[in-house]
Structure 1
Amino acid sequence: MSPRHSAAEAARTRDRIVRAAVRDASRLGLEGLTVGSLAQRLDMSKAGLVGPFGSRERLLMAALEEACEVFRAAVIDPLADLPPGPGRLARLIDGWVDYLADCPFPGGCFLTSASSELDGRPGPLCERLREIVAANRRGLAAEVAAAQAALPGPHRPPEEVATTLIGLSMAANQEVQLLEDPSAASRARDAMRHAAGLPA
């Protein structure tokens, strides 16, 4: 096998492991994910599973980063061609609710479950998750501020609206996943649009 093919195969193997790790961690939690169970499911040795990452901790970090990329691809990237304003914020909310309603992860929103799991547990995973969540929150507040600038006031502070939207998304995730409520997505979309001051 040529070096190029060998590197490509190694990248495919790494991607396969990461995708499986994300799926398992969405159900079991990052800390609940074991190398043994994942290796068995992928028909690999433990050493072969961990090898591309160097350690279990780095494998978990790669799973966290992959979950964030999936969220970004589903919710953030489709906004790229839209100017800041009410239309863009409405599209963000719609994409966010669609992601929650038809989540690519069997355990629901990965960031929501990871936030509950890692809250209060110091370490690299928690630190990285804090950075991701904080950046997402800043981005959301900026989107709210841009929408408010084009809408008649008065308005609640963008940071307050961002907090409300995040809270509503967490409630929607619970209603979709735990309660299996078929009306959860529609209700969440209406509530989030109302909280953001957007037309129904």
Structure 2
Amino acid sequence: MTGPTEISDKRLLKGAKARATIARHAADVASVDGLTGLSLGKLAADLGLSKSGVSTLFGSKENLQLAAIEAAREVFVDHVIVPALPEPTGMPRLRALVDNWLAYVSDPVMPGGCFRVATTVEFDSRTGPVHDAIDADRKDWQAFLEKEIRAAQTQGHLTGREPHAVAFALDAIVGAANTGARMGDESALPTARSIIENLLGDGA
């Protein structure tokens, strides 16, 4: 006989799974329409759910936007960071991260391309929890890159360069490549790869 605790646990698991599914779809939609374009009703219709059910899970559009940011972050981590972790820290891992990052841009996992690029532009001049979540994610990624750049420097690579400036340059180059690729510029990715190779060249 199923007890009340087991029933409650199953409901929680079901709710968590539904929330994750909706958040992931919201990230896909936001990559094209922006976070401000998210609608509880549209997402419910897309997934064959009731609007009241989606509202119950998230409570507000802002909570949905925050969940979409977290879902997109998890996608980025899974496709860019995790596959690079088996590489030795320093230059080998930094190169793997950049290769994965460019692959993530050239063959987009989300329909609108890089979620971070799209939403940063959308919220860079705003204030509030959504802006802060996007900014925190951006800073976390840059800090991760800087850590690997410092490790590479201890190995004798990228000497005399400020890690923050190198990470900033990488972010700017890949961001521009994403924008160019989304606009149909076939030279965007090859150009980005060439510039990055010159930037990291002494680590070859």
TM, length-normalised to structure 1: 0.90
The offset of 1:116, in angstroms, is 0.2
Q: What residue in structure 2 maps to residue 101 of structure 1?
A: 106
Structure 2 Cα separation of the partners of residues 101 and 58 of structure 1:
30
The offset of 1:4, in angstroms, is 4.0
Larger helix proportion, structure 1 or 2?
Answer: 2
The answer to whether 1:179 aligns with 2:194 is no
Structure 2 Cα separation of the partners of residues 7 and 152 of structure 1:
49
Contact 1:98/1:185, CA 8 A, preserved across alignment = no
- Structure 1 residues 126 and 81: alpha-carbon distance in aligned structure 2, compared to 1, 3 A threshold: same
The answer to whether 1:71 aligns with 2:76 is yes
Q: 2:65 aligns with which of 44, 49, 60?
A: 60
Q: What residue in structure 1 maps to residue 174 of structure 2?
A: 169
Greater shift, 149-158 or 112-121, is seen at: 149-158
Contact 1:89/1:143, CA 8 A, preserved across alignment = yes
TM, length-normalised to structure 2: 0.88
List runs of 5+ in structure 1 lacking aligned partners: none
- Give the secondary-structure state (helix, strand or coil) at the position aligned to 1:147: helix
Q: What is the CA deviation profile of residues 117-160 of structure 1, one whole-angstrom value per residue up to 9, with x for unaligned ones?
A: 00011010101111111121122122122213323565321111
The offset of 1:101, in angstroms, is 0.7
Deviating beyond 6 angstroms after TM superposition, the runs of 4 or more aligned structure 1 residues are none
The offset of 1:91, in angstroms, is 0.7
Q: 1:20 aligns with which of 9, 25, 35?
A: 25
Q: What is the CA deviation profile of residues 168-190 of structure 1, one whole-angstrom value per residue up to 9, with x for unaligned ones?
A: 01111012111252x53333223
Contact 1:21/1:63, CA 8 A, preserved across alignment = yes
List runs of 5+ in structure 2 lacking aligned partners: none
The offset of 1:58, in angstroms, is 0.9
Structure 1 Cα separation of the partners of residues 166 and 8 of structure 2:
52
The offset of 1:8, in angstroms, is 3.0
- Letter of the structure 2 residue corresponding to residue 128 of structure 1: A
How do 1:1-200 residues align onto structure 2 when only pairs under 5 Å count?
A: 2-151=7-156, 154-181=159-186, 183-198=187-202
Structure 2 Cα separation of the partners of residues 14 and 42 of structure 1:
12
Structure 2 Cα separation of the partners of residues 23 and 147 of structure 1:
34
How many residues are treated as equivalent by the alignment? Answer: 199
Structure 1 Cα separation of the partners of residues 84 and 109 of structure 2:
19
- Give the secondary-structure state (helix, strand or coil) at the position aligned to 1:197: helix
